[in-house]
Structure 1
Amino acid sequence: MSTATGGPSAPPPSANRSTGGAPRVGNSGWVTGMVLFAGVVMMVNGILEIFQGIMAIAEDDVFVKTPKYIFQFDLTGWGWIHLIIGVLVAVTGFGVIRGASWARIVGIFLASLSMISAFLSLPYYPLWSLVVVALDVFVIWALCIYRED
């Protein structure tokens, strides 16, 4: 390109010369912060799911038993599901905080599993299940918008 005086014009500041002038794709500070926050949320959510699983395995009276629920499982079975998912989510959250690229992909998958298990356990612990679904949506979003530099 040239200017009206015939000299070359400078590329726009957002252009990347190695890609032929295409805008750079990277992470802003808030994206990196959201991924860090998503990792912390995953660790906390995983630890709370571990506790929820232990409570269900011990057959505590904290959970409401719904007699005609289509996805009704034994409370001990739900406890083991939550315990296993909780351990995996907490470990993966630690990996996200450490910046491991595998942890973001696994984190998206595990947050999806966590969301499904929270939805299926909705009649047993409704308010907490809705909170977990909302947190898992945030985690999936935050891990999906991050790009490797």
Structure 2
Amino acid sequence: MTTAGMRQHRTGGTGVWASGWTAFAGVMMIFGGTMAIFEGIAAIAEDDVFVTTRNYAYNFNLTSWGWIHLVLGVLVVLAGVALFTGALWARVIGVALAGLSMIANFMWLPYYPLWAIVLIAVDAFVIWALCFGTSREPRTD
């Protein structure tokens, strides 16, 4: 096999993994965004479901938090769907929205800690998958 053929073969293998990580990130974004949508609907509809903590630094009205999570969840789902196009802009927007979702869920910790921690972990996996899943030429030293 020629050197160019070996390079193409190695790059093709890396590209398969890169598209696999992007697909993983897309699925996880759709999952995390759907969870955030449900979180937002629950906060808007039933204020009695959540425990409110006094003297918390990020103290917003629970309905406001519901709208924040609802809108952010819809954007995350749309970005997750856009990742399946393979466009670079979808990856950049995916990383940015996953970061915003992590921040929102960190500030949401006193209201629903277990759910917030799960969504923070999902967003961390998404960011890792989108940043790791780029095709790189392997070293031949």
Range of TM-score over shorter length: 0.7 to 0.9
Relative CO higher for 1 or 2, CA cutoff 8 Å, sep ≥ 6? 2
Question: Which one has a bigger Cα radius of gyration?
Answer: 1
Segments of 5+ residues of structure 1 without an aligned counterpart are: 1-9, 17-22
Moved more, 100-109 or 25-34: 25-34
Residues 95 and 127 in structure 2, CA contact (< 8 A), matched pair in contact too: yes
Sequence identity (%):
51
Give the partner amino acid of 1:142: A
Task: Report what 2:102 is aligned to.
Answer: 115
CA 1:15–1:41 in structure 2 vs 1: closer, same or farther (change >3 Å)? closer
1:118-146 Cα shifts (integer Å, max 9, x gaps): 00000100011111111111100111123
Task: Report what 1:129 is aligned to.
Answer: 116
Task: Report what 1:87 is aligned to.
Answer: 74
The 5 Å alignment of 1:16-55 reads 27-55=14-42
- TM-score calculated relative to the size of structure 1: 0.79
Residues 19 and 133 in structure 2, CA contact (< 8 A), matched pair in contact too: yes
CA 1:101–1:130 in structure 2 vs 1: closer, same or farther (change >3 Å)? same
Deviating beyond 4 angstroms after TM superposition, the runs of 4 or more aligned structure 1 residues are: 10-16, 23-26
For the aligned residues, what is the CA RMSD? 2.4
Moved more, 26-35 or 44-53: 26-35
| Structure 1 residue 98 displacement after superposition | 2.7
For 1:87 and 1:73, locate their aligned partners in 2 and report how far apart those are by CA, in whole Å. Answer: 20
1:106-129 Cα shifts (integer Å, max 9, x gaps): 000000000000000001000111
Aligned length: 134
